[in-house]
Each structure stands twice: as C-alpha cells, then as structure tokens.
Chain A
C-alpha cells in the first residue's frame, strides 16, 4: 500500500508529458460534463413542459395572452418572467423553488378548487417579489430606456413618462394579470 502511494507520488512529482496531458484531459472533460450537466438541468427545469407538470391550469390560460401570441411572434415563457436571469439570483430562486416540491407533495394546489383558493396568496407573493426587484424580469425584455413614446398609445405614454420614469411605480404595480387570470382583487392597491 505504502509502496503504491510512493510510486504514485513519484509519478506526480515528475510527470512525463504524457501523464500530464492525461490528467489535464481528465480534469477538462470532467469539468465539461459536470458543468454541462448542471446547466442542462437548469435548462430543462426552465421549460414550459416542466412547469406544466404541476401548473396545467395556468399553462392553458396563457394561450389567450399577449405573451403567448402576438403580431411579432416573440414569446415569453414561464421562466422568462419567474426565474431571474442573473446567475446567483437564479440559483437562489431555484433553491427556493425546491420548497414548491414540498407544497406539491402536500397538494396545496393539487385541484382547481384548491388552486383558486390559494391563488390570491401566491399572486401576492409574486407581486411582492417583483416589486422588490423592480420588475427585473420584465425589464430583461422591455427596457424603459428604449421605449419609443411616439410609438406607444396615449394612455401608455401618460403613465410611463410619469410614474414609471420617476421610479415611483414599477411594471407590476400597473400591469397585474398581464399573463394570468387574476385572483380576487378586492383590497388590492389600484383596484
């Protein structure tokens, strides 16, 4: 045993160029496989089919909205709005999302009725999250700096050039229910 380790140590201490290459290649491919697998996992859990597994009613509703079908054919999928693009935030949200697994096991939104009943609570959590990050996910696609007010409708310009420009309000303050059916809005600010 000791002999074997000594022999290995000798090889490591004075590696022939071939052994060095071998180690490098091993490390390199290992890295690629790990990193690729990790990112593939991240990608797979970002797809609409993945979300549909547990959120079937929502996936059905979204077909009628502007983010599913519009004149330019550009789509926003679930993860565009719900998973942060920034890498660290993304990891944090994914870990947070693991608790959805527990909720799933408990069946908190297992039936249409249970979902309707809990929807207000969930929507509020999502509004709160987007308010905190100043609607960062919306801004990945819609950047205020590049909004052309001469192209927008009069009502849009009125609000965007005032409350939005000053930072007093953020996208979800005014654009609730842009992608989903709304829960009961009684008592929600602005409704």
Chain B
C-alpha cells in the first residue's frame, strides 16, 4: 500500500514537472514576446561562436560626427595606452598642456566641468576615463538597424 502511494506521488510529480524539461526551441521562438536578443535564439546554456575581433587601423581619418554632442571616435589604435590612477596616456597628447606640441586635438572645455556645472582647474573626474565615451574606429556594421538622421545643418 505504502509502495503504491509513493509510486502515485512520484508519477504525479513527474507529470507536472514534464513541461519544464520538454521546453524546446519552438517554445523559445513562440514565447519571446517578439523580442530578439543580439545573441540570437539560442538557449542560455549554449555557448555562441564568437565573432572575429575587429581590426583597428593604426591611423586613419576620423569619421564625421552625426550630432553635435557626439563624442568623436578615436581614429587610431589605443593598444597598451594606460589610463589609470597613475597615468593617462590620452592626456599626454590631448591635454591643453601637450596638444600643441604633439599636434593633437585638444579636449573640449566641457571636460573640465563637474556635473553641476562648476568648471575645475583640471580634467573633471567624470571625464577622466576617455574610453568610456570615445571608442576606437573600426569597420563594424551596426548591430541593430538604426534610422537616425543628422539634422540638416550637419548634412
């Protein structure tokens, strides 16, 4: 009797649990609410094949900006450039002090402002980590479709 009871209980658990492990790709497709992810329609446990790394050209013409406030892209390699507590390689060329001698573009004055608009005597901490906003240029296709158009004055 006891044995039968355990079997029934076990059977019921198995039945209710079944849909959880019979979840397959079909369900993944129909159940995503129309949202696709950049990693494609694959189970979270599957490891995607990684894309080849983009090659960064050593020195090229900068790509034009699309809107006025856009952080310009970096038109050269930045491999091994140290930006940390001790040193900032970017500023060794782009700071107001060095830009002239190195023939580099000066950082804009907005980089001296704190978020409440006070102008400091040196680069504001929130602008110190250059590569947070400026990325290196590479021949990369947009990951998602983008229909943004610059205003007429920039075209």
Minimal Cβ-Cβ distance residue in B for A70: B79
Residues 35 to 60 of chain B near chain A (Cβ within 8 Å): 58-59
Q: Is the CB of B82 within 8 A of A181?
A: yes
Q: Is the CB of B76 within 8 A of A182?
A: no
Q: Is the CB of B87 within 8 A of A66?
A: no
The number of chain A residues with a CB under 8 A from chain B is: 18
Chain A residues closer than 8 Å to B59, beta-carbon distance:
153-156
Interchain nearest-CB distance for A181 vs B (Å): 7
Partner of B58, one of A64, A66, A153, A181: A153
Chain B residues closer than 8 Å to A154, beta-carbon distance:
59
**Bound complex: CA A191 to CA B102 (Å):** 12
A43-73: contact bitstring with B at CB < 8 Å (1 yes, 0 no)? 0000000000000000000001110000000
Q: Would you call the interface of chain B mostly helix, strand, loop, or mixed?
A: loop
Q: Is the CB of A181 within 8 A of B86?
A: yes
Q: Is there a chain B Cβ closer than 8 Å to A17's Cβ?
A: no
Q: Is there a chain B Cβ closer than 8 Å to A183's Cβ?
A: yes
Q: Is the CB of A64 within 8 A of B80?
A: yes
**Bound complex: CA A66 to CA B79 (Å):** 8
Q: Would you call the interface of chain A mostly helix, strand, loop, or mixed?
A: loop
Partner of B86, one of A178, A185, A190: A185
Interchain nearest-CB distance for B8 vs A (Å): 62
Q: Is there a chain A Cβ closer than 8 Å to B142's Cβ?
A: no
Q: Is the CB of A191 within 8 A of B92?
A: yes
Q: Is the CB of B98 within 8 A of A190?
A: yes
Chain B residues closer than 8 Å to A156, beta-carbon distance:
59
Q: Is there a chain B Cβ closer than 8 Å to A15's Cβ?
A: no
**Bound complex: CA A190 to CA B95 (Å):** 10
Q: Is the CB of B87 within 8 A of A177?
A: yes
Chain B residues closer than 8 Å to A112, beta-carbon distance:
none
**Bound complex: CA A153 to CA B82 (Å):** 20
Interchain nearest-CB distance for A191 vs B (Å): 5
Q: Is the CB of B86 within 8 A of A158?
A: no
Minimal Cβ-Cβ distance residue in B for A181: B82
Chain A residues closer than 8 Å to B82, beta-carbon distance:
177, 181-182
**Bound complex: CA A66 to CA B58 (Å):** 14
Chain B residues closer than 8 Å to A184, beta-carbon distance:
85-87
Minimal Cβ-Cβ distance residue in A for B98: A190
Partner of A177, one of B76, B85, B89: B89
Q: Which 10 A-B pairs have the closest CB atoms?
A: A153-B59, A182-B87, A153-B58, A185-B87, A154-B59, A184-B86, A191-B92, A182-B86, A182-B82, A177-B82
A to B CB contacts below 8 Å, 25 in the list: A64-B80, A66-B80, A153-B58, A153-B76, A153-B77, A155-B76, A156-B59, A158-B103, A177-B82, A177-B87, A181-B82, A181-B84, A181-B86, A182-B86, A183-B87, A184-B86, A184-B87, A185-B86, A185-B87, A185-B92, A190-B92, A190-B98, A191-B87, A191-B91, A191-B92
